[in-house]
Chain A
Amino acid sequence: MDNSVSSQDSLVSVRNLSFSRGNQKIFDNISLDFQRGKITAIMGPSGTGKTTLLKLIGGQLFPDKGTITVDGQNVHNLRRTELYNLRKRLGMLFQSGALLTDMNVFDNVAFPLREHTHLPESMIRTLVLMKLQAVGLRGARKLMPNELSGGMSRRVALARAIALDPMMILYDEPFTGQDPISMGVLVHLIKSLNSTLGLTSIIVSHDVHDTSAIADYIYVLSGGKIVGEGTPKEIQESDSEWVQQFMTGAADGPVHFHYPAKDYVDDLMSSGKRY
């Protein structure tokens, strides 16, 4: 295990990670550090395996090479029960919210408490209402997941993620598909939860503006490599052509607008083939 100085105060450290799916290399020997108590963002265009990275950290996927340590424990060397104990201290916010559709909001938030603790029902009620109050949805406790808007689902999922008072929350694309108001609510929530609960947050996003507003440190990924890292300010001022394209959202640049294909003219002329 690599125990460099920088990984001393980092909660999660990824070392020399390689991961491929089929023939496609998703990560090629990358190393990242996530500092305790900070909000670290991983950015990059869609399809760079940002969600995969979260699943690797959560131990749901296994890397081809390299190690991931969370709070000093190598995630992929843990036994099943140890891994489950570690996961109890991680909260994960899925892009879809991943609420259990057969339960209402209250029971969804109570779910981890009921599964992992033997608290009396009155205590669970208090805890759940506290968590729901924190995300501003105490009044929606009786609604079913299909009655919630996308932003509300994510807030419920967030309340559920903090139900067990985790040390770290992984956010998977928390801002995607949100209207400006719920986006603002989420940004505010992530920021305030992080500071009030002393959490460590990892945000995976491709939303440049809002993410850089709350992140303490940003990694920019592309093609399985880290193409830029630094504080939001450093990233904004980066002279990397690639990072600039991503931050400004130019249509063509180092990242091509076109999916790899044969020459356009040749392709049009070769009639007779179906595809």
Chain B
Amino acid sequence: MQHTSTQDTLVGLFVASGIVGLFFLAMQVSNLTSFVDEDSYTVTARFDNSGGLKIKSPVSAAGVKVGKVSSIYLDPKTYQSVVQLSINSKFNTLPDDTTASIFTAGLLGEQYVNLEPGGSDVYLQKNGKIEITQSAIILEKVIGQFLFKSAEEKK
């Protein structure tokens, strides 16, 4: 049993480096930091089409991330997509006439919810509703319309 104190120290360093590595992965690489949202409130927005939006997709206002999508489901009556946005309590001064639009980051990037604040003095409350929404742009639709139009113009 040639156990020396250097060996013990090296094993200790090894385990510590492993913990640091895991910590690095958790804090620096993954979304764990944004996971521990201090406080957030939920607002609902209805879209005719939520496109490629997913749970945990970012919600941003003026390019700053303010929250994330917490759930998406289909309203069985109106056939609209109901998207619940979980917004950080720090950003509690969004007017109630805020517009929610689904945009795409870059040409092939992922989709996110963009909030465009309006001019109202009343702020959005917990479980509030965003009334003005703009659906995701479906690329195929746009191209289809464009082709259709240009074909009509030629006639």
Contact = CB atoms under 8 A, between A and B. Distances in A.
Decide whether A and B are members of one complex: yes
A107 interface: yes
Interface in A95-120: 102-104, 107
Main secondary structure of the interface of A (DSSP, over half): loop
A181 B1 CA distance: 32
A102 B1 CA distance: 7
Contacts of A107: 1-2
Main secondary structure of the interface of B (DSSP, over half): loop
Give the interface size bracket for B toward A.
Answer: under 10
Interface string B1-38: 11000000000000000000000000000000000000
A239 B43 CA distance: 109
Contacts of A103: 1-2
Interface string A103-147: 110010000000000000000000000000000000000000000
A107 B3 CA distance: 11
A103 B1 CA distance: 6
Contacts of B2: 102-104, 107
A32 B50 CA distance: 90
A102 B2 CA distance: 8
A113 to B, nearest CB: 12
A90 B43 CA distance: 79
A173 to B, nearest CB: 29
Contacts of A102: 2
A108 to B, nearest CB: 10
A235 B39 CA distance: 96
Nearest to A104: B2
A144 to B, nearest CB: 9
B42 to A, nearest CB: 62
B4 to A, nearest CB: 13
Interface in A208-233: none
Nearest to B1: A107
A114 to B, nearest CB: 8
A104 B2 CA distance: 8
Interface of A: 102-104, 107
6 contacts: A102-B2, A103-B1, A103-B2, A104-B2, A107-B1, A107-B2
- 6 closest Cβ contacts across the A-B interface? A107-B1, A103-B1, A103-B2, A102-B2, A104-B2, A107-B2
